[in-house]
Structure formats: structure tokens, C-alpha cells
Amino acid sequence: MEVGILAYGGYIPQSRLQRSEIAKAHSWFNPGLNGLAKGERAMANWDEDSVTMAVEAARDCLADSDRGDVSAVYMASTSFPFMDRQNAGIVADALNLSSSLQTLDFASSQRAGSAGLSTALQVAKGGSGPILFTTAEKRQTKAASPLEFTSGDGAAAFLVGQGKVIARLIGSHTEAVDFVDHFRGEGEAYDYNWEERWIRDEGYLKIVPSAISALLSETGVKAEDITTFCFPVAARGVAAMLAKKLGLPESAVADNLQATCGETGTAHSMVMLAHAIENSKPGDKILVASFGQGSDALLFEVTEEINSLSPRKGVSGHLARRYAETNYGKFLAFHNLINLERGIRAETDKKTGLTTLYRNKGMTQAMIGGQCSQCGTAQFPKSNMCVNENCGAIGTQEDYPFAERLSKVNSFTADRLTYSPDPPAYYGMIQFEEGGRLMSDFTDISPETDIQVGMPMRMMFRIKDYDDKRGFRRYFWKAAPADASNKGE
């Protein structure tokens, strides 16, 4: 039975920092940065990290899939929020998946994304149930560095397994080479990068061709038959140079999304792969290669099943969902790159009781409420008594997931007295269409958002609080404008 990709998903944050604003701030120091000032980079909100973005990409991926069939969740990143807590486990919880599955994190390399997908595909060959693989990145970059311009935040997700695959795996090959183009040591916040020309000539143009040539030789596929070539490097012209060296068609070189998104680190090869699949047709051959202490090369052929896959937002939909951010100071604050005076109200101790967190994680991380088995009334949070005044039954509450249910605004306020990293704090009462209501924080409210009573909202998994004293963060669900987050628009 064929193994490959059963479904895909993507996520790009809605804010796009204009690179011209970064250049304005730093060109006095380094005028050469003006050469990088074109376009925009994806900028995560203050309450987003690699885990929350991975959850959104996974939700997009699982739009028409049975979550009960998922046998494992793998996640790849070099910007995990937790170094000693399984981040893939948080993703699995947020998706309300069974606890009877395997969770695994991949890290420590810019090819962790491709390595994670390769591993998932190899495991799937053994006959396991579908595996959800997701990868996301929110990297810290030094101010006035080229990486600050060329990086971006984002995520991708794939459901892999056997059966009706939309893209079958033709083959894969890995070259493991300890070529250090950059590194980040223990306890360091930023990458240290080496000279670009040397990386291009000795790294990209020697190591990557070895991996791709071996893959083409092993599979018997001719270079000229490749439809799309995905290579996730921001450096201009490198992918085209590789294509020419390998004999790949010039037309096959995929957009690296540098103008509209930026390079999303270890996730970027997978973001480009998701973008390629959503623009593909049956018979297309997609070659994706990565780079980082070697190179992974994977080759897929799109099948007729792509025509049966339900619409999803994907990478293109999230790229279209954008707000042009011109406040560079906000970017610095959201990425913890500036020591900002946040005021006395921000000094409240955010310590999380881990016992309480565990006992309530179904409510907080999976957003499970209750539904009365006698009258059908839905409510959040779940309680022992039905809230329906005409029912009031005791002990009839059954689990009822709210995360995927649409709601509407009943009331709202914008509060500048309550502390928020992005004032004012927006919150209000939302009413779910199938019943149940919640006083909820709002997120992704841009200056262009016109909040109104009756406005459709969708729940999004976000950071609720940061405990900077202990290095912990607590997650919960927030309401966002549905037209800014719905799938399959």
C-alpha cells in the first residue's frame, strides 16, 4: 500500500512587519541593510509561539480527518517554548487527541522539519495509524542583523500514512554532514552566523546536490521531470543555481516566500512543501530539500486524491490574511528583544499551580465543556448541574468540545487599565452557535478590526500568561475574528 501525505495544513500569523521599518531604525548604523528593506516578514503576536502556531497548522490539516485515527504527533522546531516538557504533547492536548498515542519532538537543526517528516513517513511504512507531523518557528534575531529582515514566523502540518494519499512518497535520501554554517550554544538567545559566500559555495552547492543526485539515482526519476523544487533558503538565487547544476527545469524553482513571509527556520521547507501541494495537480512531482548539518531530500508525486481533499486555508489563505504592521517597536516587544517598562499592573505573580493545571487541562488546553444528556444544553465550563433553568439535572454532563465551534460577540470592551502586552486588552462575552457562552479574551485585533455585536468569532489556542520568574507559560483559548481565521475561505 502506498505511503505518503494524506492531508496538509499551514499557518502564517496575520501581522506582517514591513522591512522598510526595520531599515529606518538601523540604516544609520549599517546603510547596507537598505538592500534588505523590500517586502515584509510574518510577525507572530505576543501570545503566539511555536506551539500555538503548530496547533493552528494542525487544525488546518485535520479539517476533514478523523482525529481518533491519529496514532502519533511529532513536532519540529528550534524555538520550542519548553526545553524539558514535551511540546508535541501540548499540541496533542490542544487538538483533543487520545492519550493512547506517541508524541515526539525534533530539534537542534534547520533540517529538523524535513527529518521529522522523513521519520513519520518511515514509521507509517510499518503500518501504524496516521501520524500528524507539525513544525513551527518563532526565532529571536539580533536587532540590525540580516536575519532580522529575512526571517519570518510560521508553521506547517502534514497527516501522513497509508491509503488514499494526496502525494505519494517516491523516495528520500539524507546526507549527514557536520557543516557549521551557524550555531546557537546552550543558554544563548541568538544564532551566530558565518560568512554567506562560503556557506553558499561549500555548503548549499556541494552538500545539497549530493543528496538530490542520490535521491534521483535511487528512484530512477529524471531531473527534467521535476515539476516543483522547494529549497528553503533566503539567499537570492541559490535555489536557481542548484536547479541549474542538477538539471532541474528553471520553471520548477518554487517561490521561497521571502517577499511575503520570510524564512520560517526549520519549518520553512515544510511551509514551502505545503504551499506547493496546494498549488499542484495530479501527476506533479514535488522535490523538497533542506539544509542544516547536511541535507534531506524528499520526492513526492501528487495523486488524483488531491481533487477530493476538502478546501482549507493553507499557506496561501494565511498569506492573504494579513495586516501591514509598521510599528517596529511592537515587533521588538513581542519577541522579547527590548527591556520594556510594563508598569506596576504587569508585576502580578503569574505562578501556575501545576496540580490545578493538570486537573483542569481538559478545559484549559482542549477546551472541553459539557452537554446535558437530558436536555442537550451545552455549557462552558462543564459542571455537575445543567445550567438550563428548565432542566437543572445533576450528573448528566457529557464532554462537549468547543474549540472548533463558531461563536458570535454578545458584548465587548477595550480596557486600558487591565495590563496587556498589546493594549488595549480586548475581551467580551461570546455566544456559541450550538449553545454555551464564555467571557473570553480576544486576539488578533488589528487597528483595522471593527468589532461589533454579532460579529462571528473563532477560538484560537494562545498563550494566556507568561511566568517569567520561573520560565513557564500557560495556554488557553481566545476568540478571534472568524474572517481572519476560518478555514477554506
Hey, where are the domains in the chain? 3-334, 346-356+407-484
Mean pLDDT by runs of 10 across the 489 residues of the chain is 95 98 95 95 98 98 94 98 97 97 97 98 93 97 95 98 97 97 93 94 97 98 98 94 98 97 98 98 98 97 97 96 96 91 88 95 96 96 94 96 96 93 96 94 94 96 95 97 57
Question: What pLDDT sits at residue 184?
Answer: 95
Question: What pLDDT sits at residue 248?
Answer: 98
Question: What pLDDT sits at residue 488?
Answer: 38
The string of pLDDT tens digits covering residues 183-239 is: 999 999 999 999 999 999 999 999 999 999 999 999 999 999 999 999 999 988 999
- What is the 3-state secondary structure of the chain? CCEEEEEEEEECCCEEEEHHHHHHHHCCCCHHHHHHCCCEEEECCCCCCHHHHHHHHHHHHCCCCCHHHCCEEEEECCCCCCCCCCHHHHHHHHCCCCCCCEEEEECCCCCHHHHHHHHHHHHHHCCCCCEEEEEEECCCCCCCCHHHHHECCEEEEEEEEECCCCEEEEEEEEEECCCCCEECCCCCCCCEECCHHHHHHHHHHHHHHHHHHHHHHHHCCCHHHCCEEECCCCCCCHHHHHHHHHCCCHHHECCCCCCCCCECHHHHHHHHHHHHHHCCCCCCEEEEECCCCEEEEEEEEECHHHHHCCCCCHHHHHHHCCEEECCHHHHHHHCCCCCCCCCHHHHCCCCCCHHHHHHCHHHHCCCEEEEECCCCCEECCCCCECCCCCCCCECCEEEEECCCCCEEEEEEEEECCCCCCCCCEEEEEEEECCCCEEEEEECCCCCCCCCCCCCEEEEEEEEEEEECCCCEEEEEEEEEEHHHCCCCC
Question: What pLDDT sits at residue 280?
Answer: 97
Q: Evaluate if pTM is beyond 0.85.
A: yes
Shared fold status for 3-334 and 346-356+407-484:
no
Question: What pLDDT sits at residue 489?
Answer: 37
Question: What pLDDT sits at residue 238?
Answer: 97
Question: What pLDDT sits at residue 131?
Answer: 98
CA 354/CA 360 separation, integer angstroms: 10
Question: What pLDDT sits at residue 60?
Answer: 98
So what's the architecture of 346-356+407-484 in CATH?
Beta Barrel (2.40)
CATH 1.10.3720.10 fits 3-334, yes or no: no
